[in-house]
Amino acid sequence: MKALALIDVDGVLNPHGTAACPPGYTEHELFPGELVRVRREHGPLLLRLSTRYELVWATYWEHEANRLLAPLLGLPRLPVIPCAGPPGSHRDKLLGIAPWVADRPLVWFDDLHSAAAHEWAASRTAPTRLIHVDPVAGLTGAYVDQALLP
């Protein structure tokens, strides 16, 4: 069984840390009145991870990530971790993630790992790597390379 790669959307695939759309991204109205920044190169970057990891959505988008974003990135439907609680409450997001991943090794890409997430990661016996993605730039090859290091 492969290790898991938990993928957040906002701040990771949809950089929101800047007012201007970053170079290489295009804006799409995937939700009424809300623009989402998409970089098509994210699909191949994530697929590089799939040689070692099972890709899983770990986002408040939940199933909308498969419906709206995966086709734009050329990704297959991915498993979805139900992220309990309101957006912005990453402690609640962890409450959905922890039981779902059980004791599997993982790497978690997010722009907002809470203190609780760091404590949980440090306490796990399974290898666990939290990769903080800069929400201004979004996911880059350097983050993927970091996840692929032994």
Q: Which residue has the higher pLDDT, 17 or 140?
A: 140
Q: Please determine, for residue 116, whether its predicted confidence score (pLDDT) is greater than 80.
A: yes
In which element (H, E) is residue 97 found? helix 90-101
Which pLDDT does position 87 carry in this prediction? 61
Amino acid identity of 80? V
Distance CA 139, CA 22 (A): 12
Amino acid identity of 15? P
Distance CA 81, CA 88 (A): 16
User: For strand 53-57 and strand 106-110, is the pairing parallel, antiparallel, or unpaired?
Assistant: unpaired
Question: CB–CB of 80/69 below 8 Å?
Answer: no
Q: CB within 8 A of 117, min separation 6: which ones?
A: 90, 94, 108, 110, 130
Mean local confidence (pLDDT), 95-119: 94
Mean pLDDT, the chain, integer: 94
Which pLDDT does position 83 carry in this prediction? 85
Spatial strand order in the sheet of 106-110 = 53-57, 3-7, 106-110, 128-132
99 CB-contact burial (10 Å; exposed 0-12 / middle 13-18 / buried 19+): exposed
Q: Is the dihedral of CA 76, 93, 16, 121 positive or negative?
A: negative
Domain boundaries, the chain: 3-148
pLDDT-derived band of residue 113, with 50, 70 and 90 as boundaries? very high
Which pLDDT does position 93 carry in this prediction? 86
Q: Write out pLDDT tens, residues 29-65.
A: 999 999 999 999 999 999 999 999 999 999 999 999 9
Would you identify the CATH topology of the domain 3-148? Rossmann fold (3.40.50)
Which pLDDT does position 85 carry in this prediction? 66
Question: CB–CB of 43/82 below 8 Å?
Answer: no
pTM: 0.94
